[in-house]
Structures are given as C-alpha cells and as structure tokens.
Amino acid sequence: MEFRRAVQRVDGVGVGVDGWVGICHVVLDEAHALWHVARDNVSCTHVDAALGEGGGNVGTAADSDLDDALVAGQAVDDLCSGVVHGGIFMSHRTIWLPMHVDVVPVGDVSARVKREASDGLRTVYDCEVSMHEPQPIPSGAYDANRDQYRAEEFIDLAQRVGTGEKNIAITPQDLYYRRRNYVFGLAYLSGSGSVISTHRLQTSSDGGFSNRSATDIFGDRVRKEVVHEIGHTLGLEHCDNERCVMNFSPTVREVDVKEQSLCGSCATQVT
C-alpha cells in the first residue's frame, strides 16, 4: 500500500523582471500546489540561492528524488520573490514522492516508543517518517481539576512545529477531550495534526488475549494508535470492522483485538 504525491519537473529558460536570463528547474506538486525554483544565472559560474517555495515544502536538494531538479546544497526556505515572469519550458517525467509524516515527541518519550511509531507508520502507509526534536508540554494544556492534559493543545503544537504533510505528537501525558474521561489519541479529520498518548496504553495485561510479553503488547498498541490517528488525517472515520485498525477502541482490550492494518474497505478510500 502506497500513499504518494505526484510532482512534475519542468525545465526551461526564464526571463526575470530585473533583466536576467537563467536556466530554471521547477518542481510542481500537483496535489498540494507546491513548487520550487532553483536558478543558474548564465552570466556567471556562481549558483544563486533558490528563489523560493509557495504554500509548503516538497523537499530540499537533500531529497534523492529531487536531486536532478534542484541544485545540490541549496535550501528552499525563502518566500517566492516573483522575479520569474516568463520563459520557454519543457515538461519532464512525473516524480512520485512518499507521504511525509513528522513525529513530534512531547515530553519524555522513550526511544522504544519512537521506534514503534516510526515502524508502524512505514509498514502501513509506506511513508517517509521523520523524528522531530523533542518539544516541551504546551503551556496551558494542563487541567488541574482533572489532573489531565487537553489533547487539542498537543495537536496544535504538532501542526505548528511539524514539518510533514501529516504531523503526529506523541506524549506520555494523560489526555482528555471535552467530556470524555480520557483518549488514547485524537486527530483532526482530513487535517495535518494528530496526537497519541501512551499513558493508558501501558496496562500490562491484555485480558488474556495472548501470552506475549507486556513490552510487546505495549509496542503493538503504540503502532496501532499512530496508524489509527494518521488514518483520520487521511479522511478515514471509524470502521465497524473490529479487526480494522480504524475501529473505535475506547479500551486497551479493544485495541489489542484489532490488527495494525487497514481493512480492504478503508484502504480503498485512501489509495
């Protein structure tokens, strides 16, 4: 199963409003209206910095898929200067890039949890996963009356600092949402942000469902929850199939019963 976005490379000679003539390499992301421009000024041997990006980021010159489209060593972090206003362009082949999910650890998240989350996402979605620098717990997220943290604050943090198309915060803190006693995770449907909490996933027993070790059971739960929440960001709602990872699972027992993958019906909706 692959979740990818199409980008198309376009080469040509561009004419700038300031009078320069340069060789342009443009990468167009059809799904997200993103684009990058790198230019070689033909009047000198020095390679100018990339002109910019619009609306997001499909990668920098460090991405192997884009090595032939961007000048090595250049970043594409500036806003578009708008100097290119015309030219002769020729389309090249479409490049397919994997979906990028940025995992944002919030608080003291163990290496084991990070590894399980990354492995689960790659296995199910065949996506690119990056691990963000650890972030402090959002100020104002703690509710003293409940001795819990508001899940929405963690989603907002993931969206704000995350660098992926999809961003998921992971925290050991106990989370709640509105009137619910607690949540294992939360996501904005078809949005870019989500969160999971490992606090209540650490129950040692799975009710006799298997004879595996508590460590293995916990690892499976982490995998299932990150896959579940990213599924919501892809537009999937809860599934009635109790074996599907998108099944609503308010208890760890129900998390343990379901599998780590999407059922056929859910997979069809997002591929």
Give per-residue pLDDT as tens, 17-58: 444 444 444 444 433 333 333 333 333 333 333 333 333 333
Same domain, 50 and 152: no
Q: In what helix (H) or strand (E) does residue 119 lie, and over which residues does it extend?
A: helix 111-125
**128 catalytic residue (yes or no):** no
Which range of residues forms the domain containing residue 148?
A: 100-270
Task: Determine the longest span between alpha carbons in the chain, in angstroms.
Answer: 74
Same domain, 216 and 246: yes
Residues in the chain: 271
Name the active-site residue from 229, 237, 242, 254: 229
Q: Domain holding 266: CATH number?
A: 3.40.390.10
Domain count, the chain: 2
**pLDDT range class, residue 66, cuts 50, 70, 90:** very low
Looking at residue 207, its pLDDT comes to 60
Q: Under a CB-based contact definition with an 8 Å cutoff, are residues 37 and 26 in contact? A: yes
Same domain, 104 and 157: yes
In whole angstroms, what separates CA 32 from the centre of its chain?
A: 14
Show Cβ contacts of residue 114 under 8 Å, excluding neighbours closer than 6 positions.
Answer: 103, 105, 131, 170
Scan for tokens 């949005």, then name that residue: 191
Same domain, 137 and 239: yes
Give per-residue pLDDT as tens, 128-160: 999 999 999 999 999 999 999 999 999 999 999
Buried residues in 3-40 as b, exposed as e (16+ CB within 10 A):
bbbebbbbbbebbbeeeeebebbbbbbeeeebbbbbbe
Q: In what helix (H) or strand (E) does residue 161 lie, and over which residues does it extend?
A: helix 151-161
